[in-house]
Structure 1
Amino acid sequence: MSLLLFAAVIAAVVAVFAYRQRPKPGAIWLALLLAGVAWWAAVYAVELPITPLPVRRPFMKLQWLGSLSIPVFWLLFSLEYTGRDRWVNPISIAGLFVVPTVVAALVFTFEHHTLLYRSVELVQNGDLYAVEHVFGPAFYVGIGYSYLLTLVGSALFVSLLAGRSSTHRKQSLALLVAIVAPWLGNLVYIFDVSLLADVDPTPMAFLVTGVASFVALEQLDLFDAVPVPDRIARDIVIDGMYDPVVVVDNRDRIVDMNTAATTVVGFSAQTALGRDANETVPGFPEGTADGETVTVDSPEGVRHFDVAISAVEDAHGRPLGQVVTMRDVTKREHDEQRLNVLNRVLRHNLRNEMQVVAGCAEELQSRLDDEADVALATTIAESANEVSALGDTAREIEDLLETPESTPAIGLRDAIDRLLDDAETENPGAVFTLQWTPDHAIRCRRPIEPVLRHLLEAATSSNRPPNPHVRLFVAADTEDYVSITVADDGPPISDAERAVLETGAETPLDHASGLDLWLVLWGTRAMGGTLDFESHSDTGNAVTVHVPVVESAQSADQQASAD
């Protein structure tokens, strides 16, 4: 009896340890399982010394609560712990308890029928009195169902014995010992192996269950190194992926990775298992953001990666680990490096040289007398100035696209008034008109100003009529969007040039005449807007910019009234 009480105490203590691990996968079910073990052992310890059968009968019935529920809890624990928690839901749990509930009903009324026991007698065994049963059909239904659930749950852990993780193998072995020991004891009792003369050894074997469960919990990190990430990893990690992918558990230990990751972490997949990801995986645990990259010296040379880290959760939203995805941006980094060099040459070297050419050409104009020679010098100067202006536009595009969204917005009406004043000063023969229809102030992101300035410059460029008429129309499309149309009476924008801007790609045969319209297009997109083109040989061009409103006086007033 003392051995049974000791087993009950051990199981109860370990149940408390398991319960404290919630909400980790399987913690609740293991705690309930061990509570059932403690219940069965404790009740049997109380029953054994009792001699009158009528007094003993209630304790016989109460034992069944443990024996019927333990296999169900074992299966639920096995499913959830090994990552099959999608099968653990209220419907499946209720279904698993149907047979135990029916058998329990027969247990608590067994003295009135012979379905569970055909006969029950009390037999003296030394100082103890054991109950000798002749089992009925309901008993075999209940015990067969319990064995089936125990087998299924055990099979899930047997599959882990062949896994790659030594930790998971040790955990599985400890848990299998915990469940197999009482299972064998129960088989001895059911098949009437005369070792203990009708004394059920199952509750006594629970001492092994408690000790093995304690070892799994405290020595083998049962709930800290769950095999769930390892199982889910096979659904996530695709060995054929070019980008390296690594899966880590809640202890930041590597549990899986694809072939591409081996050249990055410096270990084979087998060797890397169990290693600390903080010391092995580049960019872990912070990841990269805001244009940052991780540089790795690999056997293939220096490589650059954008590192993204995402959580792995089970079907109930409990964290199991993390997936580290390293997107190879080496080509992008090299392309950006080349573009930066070319951009610097365009903006600085070429621009400076063209200013020298333009200055020399203007000096030649003052020295030459022949009209043909003067015309040639003038052409050289104009072309040099145009190339130099390309550098200025390239710099402006770069500044425009790098404008952060957090930059304070500007008043649209004030910006347009400034632009029109500058345009009238630079083009004294041109006529500018503005039609402003919104009845409230509007604020837009800062790129709107260079976008409109380049549209006005295009409308008054040298290939326009001598005294161009440029009209601006501003309308509030909705509360959140505004449209600004710049219309002129010059020659229409060619279909080829419009097509290039609409497709976003140039070819040797199809290309835009400069960078101005590209600035307009990219600046509009940077603001989250769109462009519309209308060109007619009789009426000229109309370019409409549709952009979001950052803030308007109308929306501010509405918010104030709402508050």
Structure 2
Amino acid sequence: MFGYVGTAIVLGSFAAGIASASLVAYLDRHRGSAGATWFMYTLAFQSLSCFGYGIGLLVFDPVWRSYAEAVAWLGMTWMGPFFLAFALEYTGRSGVLDRKGFRLLFVFPAGTTALAFTYPYHDLLWRELRIDPVFGLSTVTYGIQPWGYAAMFVSLVAAGVGVLLLVETILAYGPLYRREAIAVALSTVPPSVTLLAWLGGVGYWPALNLAPASLLVHAALDGYAFVGTDMFESNPTTRRAAERAAIDDLPNPVLILDPNDRLVAFNDAAAELIDSDASSVVGTELTDHFAIPLDDAPSDRQVRTARTTGADRTRRFSISVSPLTDPAGTVVGETIVLQDITERLEQEQQLSVLNRILRHNLRNEMTVIMGAADVLGASVDDPELERWVADVRKSGQALVDIGERAREFDVLRDRDPSFESVDVAPFLESVADAAREEQPGARIDLEAADGTVSTDPMILRIVLANLVANAVQHTDSEPPTGRIRGRGTGEGTGTETGTGTETGTEATDEARPGEAYTIEIEDDGPGIPPAELEAIDPDGEDPLEHGSGLGLWIVTWGVDRIGGTIEFDSTDEGTTVSVRVPTDGGTGGADSSRLPAPNR
């Protein structure tokens, strides 16, 4: 009889086979999940190897014993490639499975299967197989031939690479898939160690192969990974696919550099710019393809002119550079994202030319027209002609005002906001005085609480001057009247805290730090037409919906640039425009994307 040790070895082999087969049945519910099918193949051949070797230990007929050994070899040589396929797909590298080099791995287990089942007609796999009992079991010894060692080597190396892929997942993704990956990686250790010992003839019983029995530990750890942690319910394929899509699917060119500024990877959009074979580009320096001086400080690398090797024109890019780090936080390179801004810069140049025409040519020509209208008006007595002359003057002045608004637009577009502390009450007094000088006969009422804001005074003055001029222009009062109210408010409140006289200022509650000072411009006119307000909506002006002038655009852009907010309350009885200016510093362009960038 076999004795306790022999019985334990046989039962261990059968138990490992049963456990592996049970896991195959359990995993069938996950068929189609990343790596699940390949792992089912791995476990199926693992089970086959265990049953084959376990049965072989009980068979003493040399012929049947050789077939049982062939079944054991069948499982051991197929397990490695299938495990590698599982690891590749599970960790999000399924593209490797379609490569010719990977498919060649299966030549060894396929050839081993054919050679194992055609013994003893040849001795290409092993020779001189004979039964050499250990613990009363039908263990065998034979001389393994080069093909046999090669097949086992390929299987072990494939399994080892699979383990390394799982370890890399542990390091890269932290605790998210750690338990599952550790369990599966450790499960390969016992059978690999015992198989290597058997192949090397290490131990007191070289005829005894303990690898099938040790697969029971393998199955137990796999069972923990599958049943205890739902390994195939959540796997790294999603995250790796997201990482790949984050680069490959971006429409913008993305380039990855090593610490020596050499290209190591890039997406399809970058490949179109480089216009070279990928294999000839990897490892070359970025400056071989783009005129980007990499020795500049990152803050100076925002916009550069670059010409690609196959380009017919110079293209300009906005460049974003960020460090590339490994899981330990060590900088291992840089990621460069290019945004083609060629068309945007051309549009800005065209806008600059058009604006210059409005500011200079139009103003000069209108000065001549206005002068001629004045001469003509002084020389005619006909009321009808006088009415026409007045219309010419009115329209001419409107065009002159457009030129002035274009100048203010240039100021906003080219000026980088310069924040400083501004005492609001005297500042609003100066705004009101300027409005009275520009519009003689108009009445500008002012009420302003004491307070201090942090803002760009030039931009704020342009905003308020436009609002006051608009209020006076559209009031129904006689004389034309506009009202300026300045009040300190608690953040998020709208309670008025300032009162005063018609033209002076009176200190009341002050705006406190961390809050905002509210400036209201009021008139009692017919209200701003809805089309005008809809035109300055963040969605922008389009050919079917547009405003009639630049004033509201300048006001909105200006408030954005100083980090404030603006609100329009317009009814048939009048309009109140509320501008909130931070007391402790704005964001410096909270929505500056709505304003064309400066023309540098």
Q: With structure 2 as the length reference, what TM-score do the two structures score?
A: 0.53
Matched residue, 2:409 = 397
- Structure 1 residue corresponding to 2:171, chosen from 85, 88, 91: 85
Q: Deviations over 1:202-258 (max 9, x none)?
A: xxxxxxxxxxxxxxxxxxxxxxxxxxxxx9997267545432221122232211112
Residue correspondence of structure 1 range 479-558 to structure 2 within 5 A: 479-502=514-537, 505-507=540-542, 510-538=545-573, 540-550=574-584
Q: Deviations over 1:61-110 (max 9, x none)?
A: xxxxxxxxxx9xx989945996762367797699689989xxxxxxxxxx
Q: For 2:526, what is the secondary structure of its paired residue?
A: coil
- Structure 1 residue corresponding to 2:303, chosen from 286, 289, 292: 292
Q: For 2:314, what is the secondary structure of its paired residue?
A: strand
Alpha-carbon separation, structure 1, partners of 2:259 and 2:364? 58
**What is the Cα deviation at residue 400 of structure 1?**
2.3
Q: For 2:200, what is the secondary structure of its paired residue?
A: helix
> Is 1:268 the equivalent of 2:277?
yes
**1:541 counterpart letter in structure 2:** T
- Structure 1 residue corresponding to 2:349, chosen from 319, 333, 337: 337
Alpha-carbon separation, structure 2, partners of 1:257 and 1:332? 24
**2:270 counterpart letter in structure 1:** A
Q: Relative to structure 1, is the Cα distance of residues 293 and 381 closer, same or farther in structure 2, using a 3 angstrom cutoff?
A: farther
The percentage of counterpart residues that share the same residue type is 27
Q: Relative to structure 1, is the Cα distance of residues 244 and 537 closer, same or farther in structure 2, using a 3 angstrom cutoff?
A: closer
In the alignment, structure 2 segments of 5+ residues that lack a partner are 1-156, 207-239, 491-513, 587-600
- Structure 2 residue corresponding to 1:380, chosen from 378, 392, 401: 392
Q: Relative to structure 1, is the Cα distance of residues 147 and 526 closer, same or farther in structure 2, using a 3 angstrom cutoff?
A: farther
Matched residue, 2:363 = 351
**1:302 counterpart letter in structure 2:** T
- The answer to whether the Cα contact below 8 Å between 2:418 and 2:455 also exists between their aligned partners in 1 is no
Residue correspondence of structure 1 range 105-504 to structure 2 within 5 A: 144-146=191-193, 187-190=199-202, 235=244, 238-239=247-248, 241-283=250-292, 285=294, 286=296, 292-296=303-307, 298-299=310-311, 301-438=313-450, 440-446=451-457, 447-461=459-473, 464-478=476-490, 479-502=514-537
- The answer to whether the Cα contact below 8 Å between 2:475 and 2:523 also exists between their aligned partners in 1 is no
**What is the Cα deviation at residue 284 of structure 1?**
5.7
**2:463 counterpart letter in structure 1:** V
Further displaced range: 381-390 or 370-379: 370-379
Alpha-carbon separation, structure 2, partners of 1:305 and 1:415? 41
Q: For 1:315, what is the secondary structure of its paired residue?
A: coil
Alpha-carbon separation, structure 2, partners of 1:99 and 1:304? 52
- The answer to whether the Cα contact below 8 Å between 1:263 and 1:299 also exists between their aligned partners in 2 is no
Matched residue, 1:127 = none
What RMSD in Å do the two structures reach over aligned CA positions?
4.0
Alpha-carbon separation, structure 2, partners of 1:269 and 1:94? 33
**What is the Cα deviation at residue 145 of structure 1?**
4.9
**1:377 counterpart letter in structure 2:** V
Q: For 1:301, what is the secondary structure of its paired residue?
A: coil
Q: Relative to structure 1, is the Cα distance of residues 92 and 345 closer, same or farther in structure 2, using a 3 angstrom cutoff?
A: same
Q: Relative to structure 1, is the Cα distance of residues 364 and 468 closer, same or farther in structure 2, using a 3 angstrom cutoff?
A: closer
Alpha-carbon separation, structure 1, partners of 2:241 and 2:333? 10
**1:546 counterpart letter in structure 2:** R
Alpha-carbon separation, structure 2, partners of 1:274 and 1:385? 64
**1:403 counterpart letter in structure 2:** R
- The answer to whether the Cα contact below 8 Å between 2:419 and 2:454 also exists between their aligned partners in 1 is no
Q: For 1:404, what is the secondary structure of its paired residue?
A: coil
Alpha-carbon separation, structure 2, partners of 1:344 and 1:360? 24
**What is the Cα deviation at residue 271 of structure 1?**
0.8
Alpha-carbon separation, structure 2, partners of 1:232 and 1:247? 17
**1:292 counterpart letter in structure 2:** V
**2:580 counterpart letter in structure 1:** H
Q: Deviations over 1:188-214 (max 9, x none)?
A: 3527999xxxxxxxxxxxxxxxxxxxx
Alpha-carbon separation, structure 1, partners of 2:167 and 2:182? 20
Alpha-carbon separation, structure 1, partners of 2:341 and 2:569? 40
**1:323 counterpart letter in structure 2:** T
Matched residue, 2:16 = none
Alpha-carbon separation, structure 1, partners of 2:260 and 2:411? 44
**2:172 counterpart letter in structure 1:** R
- The answer to whether the Cα contact below 8 Å between 2:302 and 2:319 also exists between their aligned partners in 1 is no
**What is the Cα deviation at residue 143 of structure 1?**
5.8
Q: Relative to structure 1, is the Cα distance of residues 398 and 83 closer, same or farther in structure 2, using a 3 angstrom cutoff?
A: farther
- The answer to whether the Cα contact below 8 Å between 1:294 and 1:307 also exists between their aligned partners in 2 is no
Q: Relative to structure 1, is the Cα distance of residues 428 and 347 closer, same or farther in structure 2, using a 3 angstrom cutoff?
A: closer
Alpha-carbon separation, structure 1, partners of 2:417 and 2:520? 24
- The answer to whether the Cα contact below 8 Å between 1:419 and 1:453 also exists between their aligned partners in 2 is yes
Alpha-carbon separation, structure 2, partners of 1:293 and 1:404? 20
Alpha-carbon separation, structure 2, partners of 1:264 and 1:84? 36
**What is the Cα deviation at residue 458 of structure 1?**
1.1
Alpha-carbon separation, structure 1, partners of 2:438 and 2:468? 11
Alpha-carbon separation, structure 2, partners of 1:500 and 1:329? 25
Further displaced range: 314-323 or 235-244: 235-244
- The answer to whether the Cα contact below 8 Å between 2:262 and 2:285 also exists between their aligned partners in 1 is yes
Alpha-carbon separation, structure 1, partners of 2:302 and 2:386? 51
- The answer to whether the Cα contact below 8 Å between 1:277 and 1:284 also exists between their aligned partners in 2 is no
**What is the Cα deviation at residue 513 of structure 1?**
2.9
**2:478 counterpart letter in structure 1:** P
Alpha-carbon separation, structure 2, partners of 1:237 and 1:284? 26
Matched residue, 2:79 = none
Alpha-carbon separation, structure 1, partners of 2:205 and 2:375? 119
In the alignment, structure 1 segments of 5+ residues that lack a partner are 1-70, 101-140, 149-182, 195-230, 553-563
Q: For 1:505, what is the secondary structure of its paired residue?
A: coil
**1:490 counterpart letter in structure 2:** G
- The answer to whether the Cα contact below 8 Å between 1:480 and 1:548 also exists between their aligned partners in 2 is yes
**2:396 counterpart letter in structure 1:** A
- The answer to whether the Cα contact below 8 Å between 1:529 and 1:545 also exists between their aligned partners in 2 is yes
Alpha-carbon separation, structure 2, partners of 1:257 and 1:88? 26
**What is the Cα deviation at residue 348 of structure 1?**
1.7
Alpha-carbon separation, structure 2, partners of 1:94 and 1:421? 75
Q: Relative to structure 1, is the Cα distance of residues 258 and 509 closer, same or farther in structure 2, using a 3 angstrom cutoff?
A: closer
**What is the Cα deviation at residue 467 of structure 1?**
1.0
Further displaced range: 486-495 or 297-306: 297-306
Further displaced range: 233-242 or 540-549: 233-242
Q: Relative to structure 1, is the Cα distance of residues 431 and 99 closer, same or farther in structure 2, using a 3 angstrom cutoff?
A: closer
How many residues are matched? 367
- The answer to whether the Cα contact below 8 Å between 2:316 and 2:341 also exists between their aligned partners in 1 is yes
- The answer to whether the Cα contact below 8 Å between 2:454 and 2:585 also exists between their aligned partners in 1 is yes
Alpha-carbon separation, structure 2, partners of 1:234 and 1:476? 49
Alpha-carbon separation, structure 2, partners of 1:77 and 1:320? 24
Alpha-carbon separation, structure 1, partners of 2:525 and 2:537? 21
Residue correspondence of structure 1 range 43-82 to structure 2 within 5 A: 78=164
